Amino acid sequence: MSGKDNGPNMQPLLNLQQVTKTYGSGDAAMHALRGISLRIDKGEFVAVMGPSGSGKSTCMNILGCMDQPTEGRYLFQDIDVGRLARNQRTLLRRHYLGFIFQGFNLLNRTSALENVELPLIYRGIAPDERHAAAYQALDTVGLRGWEHHMPNELSGGQQQRVAIARAIVAQPLLLLADEPTGNLDTKRSEEIMELLTAFNCDNGITIVMVTHEADMAAYAKRIVHFRDGQIESDHNQSGDGAC
């Protein structure tokens, strides 16, 4: 099985077992994943790399409960996600996962504070409690004083910090980051990676990050390379930002 054996005391958070994903059928079938197995333990920081069409984005969609395997199993804390009803998968995403996207995905007519509050609104958190949590999350990413600014009043780096605050405000077990520095310059990219490293090291948040950039992947503790729908390599590293 691909994945690292981190010892008997480590508990897997995610476990893909012989997962395939096929789109279409017959001669038109496209095999995005070809029987991959991948274990990620709690507290890991994993960079996922590979060329376009290698299967890494399909894998991330499955981990984020936005798609399901054609064959094989996805276990989240030993729960078989494939056996969950759609509303149960929605609750899993809402209560245990956080997402960061390359394009920020902020609501344009909504302040930074209100953008960060969104996951808590979906959870039904009372206004006073979610305001306090959103203020704290923005403070954590260095945006105290910017709470009431609209996205178009923020730089790209600041917008990504808002997106990170939104992702961590509900204290997820797993943070899925899809090219989180893809739209940023080198300095802003390094700042974002230092933030993610701190969340991993200080808060124990498990992070799985897709990236094409080797210097960003160097911050992770482990790199998984995809090619042609399979895991080509999987190795631990010290990492520039490793704990």
Highest mean pLDDT among 117-126, 183-192, 220-229: 220-229
Q: Rounded to an integer, what distance in angstroms lies between the CA atom of residue 236 and that of residue 54?
A: 20
Of residues 84, 46, 109, the one with CA closest to residue 239: 46
**What's the predicted TM-score (pTM) here?**
0.90
Question: What pairs with residue 33 in β-bridges?
Answer: 21
89: how many CB neighbours lie within 10 A of its CB?
Answer: 17
Q: What is the mean pLDDT of the chain?
A: 92
Domains of the chain: 12-236 (3.40.50.300)
215, 219, 220, 223 alpha-carbon torsion, rounded to 10° = 20
53, 39, 21, 71 alpha-carbon torsion, rounded to 10° = 170
30-41 β-sheet, strand order: 30-41, 12-23, 71-76, 79-80
pLDDT tens-place string over residues 114-171: 999 999 998 899 999 999 999 999 999 999 999 999 999 999 999 999 999 999 999 9
pLDDT tens-place string over residues 46-87: 999 999 999 999 999 999 999 999 999 999 999 999 999 999
